[in-house]
Copies of this chain bind each other. A is one copy, B any other.
Amino acid sequence: MAETDPLRAAMIEAAERQLASSSDHEIATRAVCEAVGVSQPVLYRLFGDKRGLLDAVADHGYERYAALKAAQERTGDPVADLHAGWDGHMAFAQANPALYQLMFTPRPWSHSTARERVMDLLVAALTRCAAVGALKLEPRTAAQLILSANIGTALDHIARPALFDDPAPSHRMRDAVFSHVLAHTSDRQDGDPLRTAALRLRAQLQLGGAEALEPVETALLQRWLERITQP
């Protein structure tokens, strides 16, 4: 899993550079090979395909994305972190439009897992919110909602980059989705209190586990909580 093939890494970086500077968001395998001083067959040996190269570039983009997230998150208030996460996502899209589209726009073949892993990061951030009772939905459900909205907004901004100048549209969407997902501090008592309590406990279990319980007991408890929070 170390994945420290310097040649492979160099080609991925060259491809990413050319993708960023290309006017049509395309790359040529020849140009990538020339940039690192090797010939075409090595590319096909390393990546199998042009699609394989693009998948690798997308996955590498995820690494940068995850590093950016890791550098900023965890202020102590998971809800504040969530807001910052939305804005960080938009900033990443603005800084790397071509790479962003490669990562988040559906490609029919694409074996890249960038989107799924970004989703996992978001689920983790949401689970931390649920652990303090701030979440009205299941983390995965909420993550799907938030990620789709975030991507939709980012793609709109990429199509019309002038939008990036004004944070209002992005924040409107953010507030709209978050208010549907988060338990307002004001209307803390909305919905079924049993359900919210169960969601909260479930998230706590997912995060830390319970030393006081045996693994079997924990598993059974989780299944009960699932049934409570299901509908």
Contacts and interface: CB of A to CB of B under 8 A. Distances in A.
Interface of A: 23-25, 101, 105-109, 115, 141, 144-145, 147-153, 155-156, 158-159, 169, 172-173, 175-177, 179-181
A106 B148 contact: no
Contacts of A150: 152
A104 to B, nearest CB: 8
A148 B149 contact: yes
Contacts of A101: 105-106
A153 B147 CA distance: 9
List of 8 A-B pairs having minimum Cβ-Cβ separation, nearest first: A152-B152, A176-B180, A106-B159, A148-B152, A148-B156, A148-B153, A151-B152, A106-B158
Given A105-B105, A108-B24, A108-B25, A172 B156 contact: no
Nearest to A23: B108
Contacts of A153: 148-149, 152
Contact of A181 (B147, B149, B176): B176
A145 B150 CA distance: 11
A149 B156 CA distance: 10
B24 A155 contact: no
Nearest to A170: B148
A115 B24 CA distance: 19
A173 B145 CA distance: 6
**Which of A144, A148, A149, A169 has most B Cβ within 10 Å?**
A148
A175 to B, nearest CB: 7
B106 A155 contact: yes
A172 B159 contact: no
A135 B109 CA distance: 41
A210 B152 CA distance: 38
Given A24-B109, A115-B159, A148-B153, 18 more contacts: A25-B107, A101-B106, A105-B155, A106-B155, A141-B172, A145-B172, A145-B176, A148-B156, A148-B173, A149-B152, A149-B176, A149-B177, A152-B155, A155-B155, A176-B179, A176-B180, A176-B181, A180-B180
A46 to B, nearest CB: 21
Contact of A156 (B25, B151, B175): B151
A180 B169 contact: no
